[in-house]
Amino acid sequence: MKSDPMEFAKDILSRVSRSFALTIPMLDEEIKNEVLLAYLQDRILDNFEDEIHPPDLELQKEMMDKVSRIFSTEEYDRSSDFRVIKDKSELIESESLQKLTKNIDLIYQCYQDFDLDIQKISHKWLQEMNQGMQKYLTKEVQTFADLDEYCYYVAGTVGGFLTETIIYKFDINQKKQQILLDNFNQAGLFLQKVNLIRDIREDLASRDKHFWPLKELNISEVELSNSRNEEKALEALSKMLSDLKSHIPALKKYYQALPKELKGYKKFFAVNNALGLATIDKLENNADVFYGKKPIKVSKLKFLNIIRAPEKKFLDYCSQE
């Protein structure tokens, strides 16, 4: 029995991202499926960027280009690209991520049902993400400028897709459109940096690379991992958090420019960013970021409080920082 493509997409989302499985269903009906499919295509691209161990750069670039081409509006026979991607998905260790990648043809079937203009918006940002991810397959993040560029490619582009999609789908006045376009990138940078700061211990221990600008922080990987250098590591953490907080005013500007009728999108934005802002409190001056046994997480009580009143909590956190 063949899978229904959209049912497969909805089911696999919960297997590959608990956070987006929580927030994407909150979205307005007019954009819910578009955002779901865009997330999954981005995730397939990311799987070839980040989940192939040990890395094989030429293979990764080839597969990433195929993913980008599949989701373009170009008319061509995709069967060969589907076969290659299904075959190479075996290199992905995670069972759920492998399953998603192996079923790229089902994701594409859903994608074909979208308005052609939405497909063009989506591919524009997927292509940008692909080019940037490939750049950082070999380029190291050494400075805060590098960090901003990397985060733009992997997360700011998502904000670009979301923002252009709501502008296309909804009646938003020119002034508010401009505020959204001026601030979406910083919103993307904020959430990506929360993850990169929180995950540094795991990245140093088990990943092939990390994304802290150690050259500008004046600390090495060895120093960061050794508890004898705790004071120096915490200084580096403080600088990372100061850089992160610089994006908070843009979060608030973006949120306040969203029209009232986008109730779902406002909630989606508020939940994701309130959780990010709450995580800052857990990271501040916390040596467990480097030496703890478990990942840093927001408490269950704080999480539930955010879910109960996300927009209020988001604005409360913004005013505290």
- Going from N- to C-terminal start, the domains of the chain cover 1-114, 140-321
Q: Do residues 170 and 224 touch, judged by C-beta distance below 8 A?
A: no
Nearest to 155 by CA among 188, 112, 108, 130: 188
At the top level of CATH, the class of 140-321 is mainly alpha
Residue 155 has pLDDT above 60, yes or no: yes
Rounded to two decimals, the pTM is: 0.95
At 23, is the pLDDT very low, low, confident or very high (cuts 50, 70, 90)?
A: very high
- Residue 54: is the preceding peptide bond cis (ω within 30°)? yes
What confidence score (pLDDT) does residue 3 get?
65
Mean pLDDT score, 160-164: 98
Mapped onto helix, strand or coil, the DSSP state of residue 72 is coil
What confidence score (pLDDT) does residue 1 get?
37
Six-digit token pair at 207?
Answer: 């990943």
Residue 2 has pLDDT above 60, yes or no: no
Mean pLDDT score, 107-130: 97
Say what angle helices 79-88 and 57-70 make with each other, to 10 degrees. Answer: 140
Report the mean per-residue pLDDT for the chain. 96
Residue 208 has pLDDT above 80, yes or no: no
Say what angle helices 95-102 and 5-16 make with each other, to 10 degrees. Answer: 150
Mean pLDDT score, 17-28: 95
Residue 80 has pLDDT above 70, yes or no: yes
Residue 225 has pLDDT above 60, yes or no: yes
**How much of the chain, in percent, has pLDDT values that exceed 70?**
99
Mean pLDDT score, 281-305: 94
What confidence score (pLDDT) does residue 295 get?
87
Residue 92 has pLDDT above 70, yes or no: yes
Bridge partner residues of 92 (DSSP) = 52
Residue 207 has pLDDT above 90, yes or no: no
Residue 227 has pLDDT above 50, yes or no: yes
Find the range with the poorest average confidence among 42-51, 58-67, 205-214: 205-214
Mean pLDDT score, 271-282: 97
